[in-house]
Amino acid sequence: MPVSYSTDAAVATPKVTFAPASPSMDTELPLRGHRKRASGSNVLAAANSPMKRSISTPVVSSPAMISSEQVADFEKQRQALTMMTTYIASAIQEMRRGDPIKYEELIAQLTMTKPSPLTPTKMLQWIQALSQCISLLDKSCSALIDAMLQIDWLIQEDVFVQYYLSFLGNVVSAHAFYVVPVQSMLVHKLTHRYKPSFTGDVPTINRDAQHERVHQALKYILGLIPTGATSLFPLLATAFPHKRESIYAHTMYVKNILRVLEYAPVLRTQILGLVIDRIIQVDVEIQVELEELEDSDTEVAYDFDTVDDSDSDDSDSDSDDDSDSDSDDPQVAVLDIKEMTKKLDGMLFLVFAYLEGYVNSCRHLPSVDGRMSAPVEQLYIVLLQIFMGTILQTFKSRHTQFILFYIASLSPKFSDYFLGALVTKILDKSQPEVIRVSAAAYISSFVARAKYLDLPQVLLVVDMLSNFTLELVAEVDTGSNVLPDADRYAVFYAVVQALMYIFCFRWRVLEVGAENKSRISSKDDFDSAGMIVGSMDSPDVNNSPRGVGVGGRQWHAGLASLQRVVTSRLNPLKMCSSNVVKQFARISQSLDF
């Protein structure tokens, strides 16, 4: 079969001849030499080159085996394609002169569903013919391009997909204004909303294979139009499932959107920020619904994973008002919470899997400090920026912050930067009070939970927080009319609560002499991310070492000053979270603190 190239400079599609086509374009053509089963992995070599790498050369017989009948058949095929190309060009020209009849008939054929849609072979004829008219497809032909974008190409055979994507590549290369419509079509096919129209004459393509084809197509388009990444992200954000959509919808889309980072790393900050923002929305929604279920007369055990700095109503500022779970039935609410929890777990699992895979893929690269490679450090910076810009400004987050806690565990430098950033937020009086309070809550969770923190890191944080509280206590104790005030001293109470929180988890290492003992008791358990898990049982005082200091023990200076702070006029034991205070009182009493 001879293959020639169009003289149209904007077209790189080979003219592959097919079965004869009458002027009505109803003649079917066989996909000779192309009955290969479709798959997701070998659809496009197109991601590497506009044409030659995206279109496989048709399989042809040896010249000695071609009969005169076949030669005549080939000539008829060439003539049929010429007729279709002429028809398209004529329809477009007449439409521009004010006579849209043929143009509308062309669109009607491409979008026909009744009595039956075009067969793949007929549709492939149109794709070939349109590929010869790329230069004509300006903005006036947007309806025709829209019709082409409606083609259900994902479920076709490989050769069909190759020709179709080559057509798309030629269109966006010649007319950049079609980049967004093409990308929009591709992004839609990464969502659960896309439902392919399977017919009996096409192979069954599973979802994973379909998604792989879409990713190869997006990679191909971005290779042709690198600036297309700018327009791609808003489309990805718009297509993200609503928090009330199914677990499958969320996990499928998160998996796909993280896959985009493999060929569009320039979008790493935006995509990770988007995913984390949507995870937070679900995380917060769970906490809001849990609170609505709580009986106000029932004492609820305090979970020390919760980063809710106080009982203030202000902490509800980031929750959503559009929740459709307005049932008063507790059983329905519990089922809804379980569903959202699974959704949250699924998305977090995919994010952690992505981070771990990325870090592992960079292990062979040169390190910048003897520990981490430059790409991993850049990833950490991205996540730290997301934390400061999104997570830190969100209350009632219970699990999302562990994304940053994980990446901080990879290097002491990372954890140092993280602690430094949080302390800076707390001490910076120019920061909004709500941010300072939130930073205190997060630093307490991090220091209390992260087993990989060195003792000097823990002590430095405790010292800095203690100094902050002592300065304020010294200032207010000189006044005569100082009274506890949750609004006026919100940051102070948040920092004191953070110190009590840290004490409950880290009292063993805060004793003088802890450097010569195991940093953490063998009774403590740990999860895979290096975080301390489990409840806080009262310490075994009989087996604990005695020293000189508060209650017969000697504590590091930062913690020793806590005694003065909690008994000050500001009365933090009354103003801080009652659950934190109860745990602190129970453990400090056991230790004679």
Tens of pLDDT, residues 513-547: 655 444 443 334 334 444 444 334 344 444 343 33
Q: Per the structure block, which two tokens stand in for 68?
A: 């005169």
What's the confidence (pLDDT) of residue 582?
A: 94
> Quick one: pLDDT band at residue 391, thresholds 50, 70, 90?
very high
> Quick one: pLDDT band at residue 551, thresholds 50, 70, 90?
low
- What pTM was estimated for this model as a whole? 0.77
What's the confidence (pLDDT) of residue 121?
A: 86
Return d(Cα 497, Cα 501) in angstroms, integer. Answer: 6
Q: 584-587: long-range contacts at Cβ-Cβ below 8 A with a sequence spacing of 24 or more? A: 584/500, 584/501, 584/503, 584/504, 586/538, 587/503, 587/504, 587/507, 587/536, 587/538, 587/539
Residue of 412, 403, 441 whose CA lies nearest to 425: 441
> Quick one: pLDDT band at residue 479, thresholds 50, 70, 90?
low
User: Quick check: 431 pLDDT over 50?
Assistant: yes
In a domain, 339, yes or no: no
What's the confidence (pLDDT) of residue 318?
A: 39
3-state class (DSSP) for residue 450: strand
User: Quick check: 59 pLDDT over 50?
Assistant: no
User: Quick check: 7 pLDDT over 50?
Assistant: no
User: Which of 270-274, 319-323, 573-577 is modeled with the greatest confidence?
Assistant: 270-274
Residue of 285, 505, 258 whose CA lies nearest to 400: 285
**Mean pLDDT calculated for residue range 473-497:** 86
For 516, residues 6+ apart whose C-beta sits below 8 A from its C-beta are none
What's the confidence (pLDDT) of residue 203?
A: 54
What's the confidence (pLDDT) of residue 348?
A: 97
Return d(Cα 442, Cα 423) in angstroms, integer. Answer: 10
**Mean pLDDT calculated for residue range 190-195:** 88
For 216, residues 6+ apart whose C-beta sits below 8 A from its C-beta are 40, 43, 44, 46, 47, 165
Asked whether 291 and 300 are in contact (CB, 8 A), the reply is no
Return d(Cα 482, Cα 474) in angstroms, integer. Answer: 12
Neighbours of 322 (CB within 10 A): 8
In a domain, 316, yes or no: no
Return d(Cα 40, Cα 43) in angstroms, integer. Answer: 6
Q: 479-488: long-range contacts at Cβ-Cβ below 8 A with a sequence spacing of 24 or more? A: 482/569, 482/570, 483/569, 484/569, 484/570, 484/571, 484/574, 484/575, 486/310, 486/312, 486/575
Residue where a domain stops, chosen among 189, 214, 239: 239
What's the confidence (pLDDT) of residue 65?
A: 65
Residue where a domain stops, chosen among 239, 269, 294: 239
What's the confidence (pLDDT) of residue 556?
A: 85
**Pairwise pLDDT comparison (402 vs 527), residue with the higher score:** 402
3-state class (DSSP) for residue 361: helix
Residue of 248, 254, 249 whose CA lies nearest to 271: 254
User: Quick check: 428 pLDDT over 70?
Assistant: yes
User: Quick check: 548 pLDDT over 80?
Assistant: no
Residue of 127, 165, 210, 159 whose CA lies nearest to 56: 159
Which 8-state DSSP code applies to residue 367?
Answer: B
In a domain, 332, yes or no: no
Return d(Cα 521, Cα 525) in angstroms, integer. Answer: 9
Asked whether 279 and 398 are in contact (CB, 8 A), the reply is no
In this structure, is the dihedral angle defined by the CA atoms of residues 419, 424, 426 and 431, taken in order, positive or negative? negative
**Mean pLDDT calculated for residue range 310-331:** 46
Apex 106 CA angle, 105 and 112, nearest 5: 80
Residue of 113, 185, 86 whose CA lies nearest to 145: 185
Q: Per the structure block, which two tokens stand in for 352?
A: 């952690």
What's the confidence (pLDDT) of residue 69?
A: 75
3-state class (DSSP) for residue 544: coil
Which 8-state DSSP code applies to residue 456?
Answer: H
Residue 82 host element (H or E): helix 68-96
In a domain, 444, yes or no: no
Asked whether 305 and 534 are in contact (CB, 8 A), the reply is no
In a domain, 218, yes or no: yes
Share of the chain above pLDDT 70, in %: 74
Which 8-state DSSP code applies to residue 373?
Answer: B
**Mean pLDDT calculated for residue range 356-378:** 81
User: Which of 245-249, 321-325, 537-541 is modeled with the greatest confidence?
Assistant: 245-249
Return d(Cα 92, Cα 101) in angstroms, integer. Answer: 10
**Mean pLDDT calculated for residue range 107-127:** 85
User: Which of 1-15, 156-170, 531-545 is modeled with the greatest confidence?
Assistant: 156-170
In a domain, 246, yes or no: no
Structural domain harbouring 579: 451-593
Q: Which amino acid is at 587?
A: I
By DSSP bridging, strand 3-5 and strand 532-533 are unpaired
In a domain, 95, yes or no: yes
Return d(Cα 108, Cα 122) in angstroms, integer. Answer: 14
What's the confidence (pLDDT) of residue 534?
A: 39
Residue of 41, 42, 54, 44 whose CA lies nearest to 12: 54
User: Quick check: 425 pLDDT over 70?
Assistant: yes
User: Quick check: 299 pLDDT over 60?
Assistant: no
Number of structural domains found in the chain? 2
Task: Supply φ then ψ for residue 376, to 5 degrees.
Answer: -70, -40
For 301, residues 6+ apart whose C-beta sits below 8 A from its C-beta are 579
Report the mean per-residue pLDDT for the chain.
79
**Mean pLDDT calculated for residue range 401-430:** 95
**Mean pLDDT calculated for residue range 282-306:** 66
Q: 523-531: long-range contacts at Cβ-Cβ below 8 A with a sequence spacing of 24 or more? A: 524/451, 526/451, 529/352, 529/402, 529/405, 529/406, 529/409, 530/409, 530/450, 530/451, 530/452, 531/402, 531/405, 531/449, 531/450, 531/451
Residue of 503, 502, 499 whose CA lies nearest to 588: 503
What's the confidence (pLDDT) of residue 144?
A: 96
What's the confidence (pLDDT) of residue 71?
A: 72
> Quick one: pLDDT band at residue 202, thresholds 50, 70, 90?
low
In this structure, is the dihedral angle defined by the CA atoms of residues 258, 259, 264 and 265, taken in order, positive or negative? positive
Asked whether 586 and 538 are in contact (CB, 8 A), the reply is yes
Share of the chain above pLDDT 90, in %: 53
In a domain, 580, yes or no: yes
HSE of 197, CA atoms in CB hemisphere, 13 A: 10
User: Quick check: 94 pLDDT over 50?
Assistant: yes
What's the confidence (pLDDT) of residue 261?
A: 97
Residue where a domain stops, chosen among 194, 221, 239: 239
